[in-house]
Amino acid sequence: MMKEDIYRCLQQRLDQYSLGFPKTETGIELLILKKLFTKEDAEMFLKMTPRLENPESVARRIGASEDAVARQLEDMASHGLLFRVRKGTSVQYGAIPFMHGLIEFQVKKLDPEMGMLLKEYLNQAFNKSITDVEGMFLRTVPIEKSMVSEHHIAAFDDAVAMIMKNETIAVTECLCRKGEKIMGRGCGKPDENCMMFGSMARYYLDNQMGRLVSKEEAVEILRQAQAAGLVTQPATAQNPSGMCNCCGDCCVVLGAVKKHSKPAQLVFSNYRACLTREDCIGCEVCLDRCQMGALTMNEDGVAQLNPDRCIGCGLCVTTCPSDALRLEAKPEALRRVPPANGFEQMMQIAINRGVISSAGDR
């Protein structure tokens, strides 16, 4: 493999994972990769797969010194270029996608130059990758206070239940809001409310990308984020590795979805808002709470709801002073059960993108 081609090969490999990493006419994606990877690290990444391996296995497979391989793998993991799992004295490494992976792992190193590159790349190519997978990357779960007491909420749709079943929880800054802030923009909403669980949390803690929190503090952070008008979005799995709290102004995923004419079609959500217009007092509070522009005011000064834009987060419901808005479960035929785990989620994304067939063939 010629050295000058290494970054194009890296782009093509990353395009096979998760949401992909599509090529652009301008080649801006190569500038991003060159800022993240040395040529030596790019070569090593191409020798890895998402399957976790220890250094001995990698060294044996590629015919290299185990000590040298171990040093390089650890260095790459410490720079957010590989995922790492430690169990006792054992350590394993694996390749990661562009998102969630490479870019989120730069949360503590993000600078204005990378922020500008990412913003331009999103506009040129990556936003389409997000909308093409139809809700399989992140999903919306309802705000706890938006649900009436008689509703039964499945555990995989209950954000508090997701938090409480995890023993290791890390909280970190939102990369999206941080990126907008360092470029002199931003929405002003709280930053430190992206949560990681289990082995992903441990990776963030080991790399000093986040801080350890108790279950109780995590729940309080969640409730503060929702009070601030952020949409709770765990990964689309029954046992998610992380949970974001997002805004429509800064969030990469919500921003891409918001540009679509029918966001409801693109988001994995089992709930939707309903409006009783006769009860609306025209206060317009819901307009600011809704991150998708699903609520507007008509000529009579009464709210109107566009169901094609509602993603079922419940933010509008919790601040409606006249109870004109409520959140209800979608009809059973429209409800969905998320994949069991992150691996199944990534497989479904790959199928949706056409990277593999439903039979699992490349």
Higher pLDDT, 134 or 193: 193
Q: What's the pLDDT score for residue 136?
A: 64
254 and 274 inside one domain: no
Mean pLDDT, the chain, whole residue set? 89
Pick left, alpha or beta for residue 314 (phi over 0 → left; psi -120 to 50 → alpha; otherwise beta): left
Pick left, alpha or beta for residue 121 (phi over 0 → left; psi -120 to 50 → alpha; otherwise beta): alpha
Residues whose CB falls within 8 Å of the CB of residue 57, separated by 6 or more in sequence, listed in order: none
Q: Which of 235, 258, 281 is the last residue of a domain?
A: 258
In this structure, of 24-33, 91-100, 217-226, 247-256, the range with the lowest mean pLDDT score is: 247-256
305 and 251 inside one domain: no
205 and 178 inside one domain: yes
Place of tokens 């000058």: 4
Q: Which helix (H) or strand (E) holds 61?
A: helix 55-62
Q: d(Cα 175, Cα 244) in Å, to the nearest integer? A: 10
- Cβ-count burial of 323 within 10 angstroms (0-12 exposed, 13-18 middle, 19+ buried)? exposed
Could you tell me which residues are beta bridge partners of residue 86? 91
Q: Which of 120, 141, 156 is the last residue of a domain?
A: 120
Residue type, 83: F
Across the chain, the runs of DSSP E, i.e. the strands, are 83-87, 90-94, 169-173, 192-197, 211-213, 231-234, 242-246, 271-275, 295-297, 303-305, 325-329
Q: Which of 207, 231, 258 is the last residue of a domain?
A: 258
Could you tell me which residues are beta bridge partners of residue 243? 195, 234
Decide if 128 is inside a domain. Answer: no
Total number of domains constituting the chain? 3
* pLDDT 10s digits, 303-330: 999 999 999 999 999 999 999 999 999 9
* pLDDT 10s digits, 114-130: 999 999 999 999 888 87
pLDDT over threshold 50, residue 223: yes
The domain in which residue 187 lies consists of: 133-258
* pLDDT 10s digits, 71-92: 999 999 999 999 999 998 999 9
